[in-house]
Structure 1
Amino acid sequence: MLQINFPEHNFRIKKEKNKHIIFDEVRRRWVALTPEEWVRQNFLQYLIQVKNYPASLISVEKIIRVGDLSKRYDIVVYKEHTPWLIVECKESNTPVDIKVIEQVIRYNMALAISYFVITNGNESFCYEISRNSFRELAALPEL
């Protein structure tokens, strides 16, 4: 399991039509503040502030085709214009288990990434993908 300490950040949050929304600095727009979005926003700040991944190389919530289905990933980090690392975020009370790993592996059929992370904000795991196997890492890779 990764040891992740989310950095302090001044999130821009406001209430609109009786719902809280948060400004996503990567997408540059306001989005609904759901429990999963809270995890996603904190993990984005970890990638940018702690791991020093440039925000310009990060893509958030884009649609991909997996077979005949349209799916939406949470976070993809690019390296040399190629998807390199994917992060699947779940709300804090959702276990990060084999079902989540299987979800990311399906996304990998479309993206062919080298690394994936699964997180619910409390627990986070990083894996390196090589050929048809993957191994758990103790830390996120350097970009």
Structure 2
Amino acid sequence: MNRPNKYPPLNLPAADLRLRNSGPRPEVWDTLRRKWLVLTPEEWVRQHFIRFLTGTYGIDPFRIVQEQQLRIDGFSLRADIVVYSRQAEPQLIVECKAAGVAITQEVFNQVAHYNIQLGVPYLVVTNGLQHYCCEIDHEARSYRFIHEIPQL
């Protein structure tokens, strides 16, 4: 199946996604979770970004967790992508938005909120077109934007 019309090309390397039509909405095969998922605009971005992490940065797929369950202030939340080190320490949180969703302060606040529990050194927000990566200095309680995701 070719790229569905409502899913734009992204500012990421091409990803060889397995797509199918099975009912009213297209589905994508998630190679990490080994199941078919409804292909939402956000899932389109997430699947491409995972291929970017594994292909461009060489991150072992076994170190990537999708929709990581978090419990913060009594609320059940889910981080889109969490990358762990080889020592099973969380290193990077990625918040994915659909291509049509603007990257705003609210999106940064969302991913920073997830970091309350995980305490990672790097945060990424992306809508597939724009990507921002921040390095967190937990001791100084500050951050700085960096141009690339570091080797993890």
User: TM-score by structure 1 length?
Assistant: 0.94
What is residue 118 of structure 1 aligned with on the other side? 125
| Shift of residue 8, structure 1, vs aligned partner | 2.6
> Which letter maps to 1:119?
T
1:16 to 22, 34, 49: 22
1:86 to 90, 93, 97: 93
3-state SS of the aligned residue for 1:73?
strand
| Shift of residue 5, structure 1, vs aligned partner | 4.9
1:76 to 71, 77, 82: 82
Q: Percent identity?
A: 38
> Which letter maps to 1:137?
I
Give the aligned CA root-mean-square deviation in angstroms: 1.2
Q: Is contact 1:6–1:45 with CA below 8 Å preserved after alignment?
A: no
Aligned-partner Cα distance in 2 for 1:44–1:5 = 13
Q: Is contact 2:135–2:145 with CA below 8 Å preserved after alignment?
A: yes
Q: Which runs of 5+ in 2 are unaligned?
A: 1-9
What is residue 64 of structure 2 aligned with on the other side? 58
Which of the pair has the greater relative contact order for Cα pairs under 8 Å at 6+ separation? 1
What is residue 49 of structure 1 aligned with on the other side? 55
What is residue 145 of structure 2 aligned with on the other side? 136
Aligned-partner Cα distance in 2 for 1:30–1:126 = 29
> Which letter maps to 2:71?
R
User: TM-score by structure 2 length?
Assistant: 0.88
Map Cα deviations across residues 7-34 of structure 1 (whole Å, 9 max, x no partner): 2332111111221110011111111100
